[in-house]
Amino acid sequence: MVNDSDILMVSRAGGNPIRVASQCVMMDSGAQPVMIGKKFAQELRLTADDLAPCPFTIVTSIGQVERATGYTREPLQLSFRVKLGHSPAPLLLRCAVMDATNYDILVGQQAFYPLGFGLDNWTEEAWIRPGWSAGDGRKELISVAFAAAATIEPLSMVFG
């Protein structure tokens, strides 16, 4: 989990200038799509016209099956900024829109692979390698709190 408004900016593509900094980013290596929470979708001014039926069945961490509100018709631009002054690592991705209120955005494998995301559970470090596919050897640590150490209030919102 990342609670850092500087790490991820999400903007609408296609000439719409809306750009929003996410306050609560959850990173889930077990998730496939990138999922946008209800409040964050409202901040991005996503409407029913912006959404198509979602092709994914979402199974939550507690085993419940949920239907997404929709799947963005146009990709959103996710720009990961790791260090001040470094250029962002942008991705254009279609995202599932959920009714969830306990996160702004949940980042899954759809974004992890192109970012060169890595995780070491032993040292509790996470990183991205923004230019790995072009041979850029840069490795940027991300400030994260692992689920076992993270405190989210109220916990009932997360664990039911």
Parallel, antiparallel, or unpaired for β 96-97 and 35-36? parallel
CATH number, domain with residue 18: 2.40.70.10
Structure confidence at residue 157 as a pLDDT band (50, 70, 90):
very low
Whether residue 59 lies inside any domain: the answer is: yes
Beta-carbon contacts of 102 under 8 Å, excluding residues fewer than 6 positions away, are 24, 37, 152, 157, 158
Whether residue 2 lies inside any domain: the answer is: no
The pTM is what?
0.73
CA distances from 47 to 3, 67, 97 (A): 26, 17, 10
CA dihedral angle for residue 19, residue 20, residue 25, residue 31, rounded to 10 degrees: -40
Domain that holds residue 116: 8-159
Whether residue 125 lies inside any domain: the answer is: yes
Q: What is the pLDDT of residue 160?
A: 44
- Position 127: which residue type? W
Q: How far apart are CA 113 and CA 134, in angstroms?
A: 14
Instruction: Give pairs for 120-123: CB < 8 Å, separation 24+.
Output: 121/146
Whether residue 117 lies inside any domain: the answer is: yes
Does 2 score more than 90 pLDDT? no
Structure confidence at residue 70 as a pLDDT band (50, 70, 90):
very high
Whether residue 118 lies inside any domain: the answer is: yes
Whether residue 3 lies inside any domain: the answer is: no
Q: What is the pLDDT of residue 4?
A: 53
The number of folded domains in the chain is: 1
Given the structure tokens 């991205």, which residue do they identify? Answer: 128
